[in-house]
């Protein structure tokens, strides 16, 4: 498996510094948070996109994915959501990234059936554009569709190879699923996996990997047992928790922890 980290852990950091961190600390890739406050986002012009892609290529670091904020199950008109997804797909294509991330974003006022149908309709429509772009759309286990069981209700309705799943291990755990259950549901759709650690279900402040309660050992064991050989991406949510320790000082220990889990489960 290959290891990456998300720029959510180093909010606003220039790309040159992000790449320096990745190479210095032995990470194979980076997940780019696509938001206007970040150096890479859908508002970039062609020249800036080309420069970013060239910088990654020169460094030998891969762009794992573009983490967007489109909410595919949210109430309202389809077109603004589809436009947001298309913009993310264009950005990922121009950067050479294989994936974009979208959220479910359903509203509590919706029935689950309505939220599922809305998300599936939009993802099915966007899938054709994704095919042309050569980029895969990944629905993250998050918010209204926190568990793998929730996510596959949507993905099963879509039934398109360009639409898959991003497994956030915190959300499936908070939703009451065991790693073996989450993997069994998601493996036909799985793009990559976001790992992290937290103190408890009531305190989701990010911690160094291996120092919290999330079942990372079990996750890696399940993946290894089934021969899954994709990406593990450390999503350290520093952007939302100012008091959290800075990510750069944790990167070496995080890589070593994941490498140890991979070796132990081999």
Triad 78, 66, 38: Cα angle to 5°: 100
**221-256 burial string, b = 16+ CB within 10 Å, else e?**
bbbbeeeeeebbbbbbbbbeeeebeebbebbeebbe
pLDDT grade for 176, boundaries at 50, 70 and 90: very high
pLDDT above 90 for 266: no
CB 170 within 8 A of CB 208: no
DSSP string, 38-61: SSS-TT--HHHHHHHHHHHHHHT-
Share of the chain above pLDDT 70, in %: 100
Say how far apart CA 120 and CA 139 lie, in whole Å: 10
pLDDT digits (tens, 9 = 90+) for 237-260: 999 998 999 999 999 999 999 999
The alpha carbons of the chain give a radius of gyration, in whole angstroms, of: 17
pTM for the complete prediction? Answer: 0.98
User: Across the chain, how many H-helices and E-strands are there?
Assistant: 9, 10
pLDDT digits (tens, 9 = 90+) for 187-223: 999 999 999 999 999 999 999 999 999 999 999 999 9
- What the chain holds in terms of domains, given with CATH numbers, is 2-265 (3.20.20.150)
pLDDT at residue 265 in the model: 84
Q: Pairing relation of β-strands 163-168 and 136-140?
A: parallel
CB 68 within 8 A of CB 102: yes
Say how far apart CA 244 and CA 81 lie, in whole Å: 32
pLDDT digits (tens, 9 = 90+) for 79-104: 999 999 999 999 999 999 999 999 99
């Amino acid at each position: 498996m290959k290891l990456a980290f998300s720029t959510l852990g180093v909010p606003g950091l220039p790309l040159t510094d992000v790449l320096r961190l990745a190479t210095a600390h032995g990470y194979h890739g980076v997940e780019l948070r696509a938001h206007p406050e970040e150096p890479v986002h859908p508002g970039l012009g062609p020249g800036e996109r080309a420069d970013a892609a060239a910088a990654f290529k020169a460094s030998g670091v891969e762009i794992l994915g573009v983490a967007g904020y489109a909410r595919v199950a949210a109430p309202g008109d389809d077109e603004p959501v589809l436009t947001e997804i298309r913009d993310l797909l264009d950005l990922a294509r121009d950067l050479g990234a294989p994936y974009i991330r979208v959220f479910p974003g359903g509203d509590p006022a919706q029935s689950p059936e309505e939220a599922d149908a809305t998300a599936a309709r939009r993802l099915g429509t966007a899938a054709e554009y994704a095919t042309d772009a050569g980029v895969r759309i990944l629905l993250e286990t998050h918010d209204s569709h926190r568990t793998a069981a929730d996510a596959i209700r949507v993905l099963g309705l879509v039934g398109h190879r360009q639409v898959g799943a991003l497994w956030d291990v915190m959300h499936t755990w908070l939703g009451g699923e065991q790693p073996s259950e989450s993997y069994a549901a998601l493996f036909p759709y799985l793009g990559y996996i976001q790992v992290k650690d937290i103190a408890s279900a009531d305190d989701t402040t990010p911690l160094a990997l291996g120092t919290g309660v999330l079942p990372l050992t079990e996750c890696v064991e399940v993946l290894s047992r089934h021969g899954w050989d994709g990406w593990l991406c450390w999503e350290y949510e520093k952007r939302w928790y100012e008091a959290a320790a800075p990510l750069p000082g944790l990167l070496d220990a995080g890589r070593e922890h994941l490498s140890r889990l991979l070796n132990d489960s081999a």
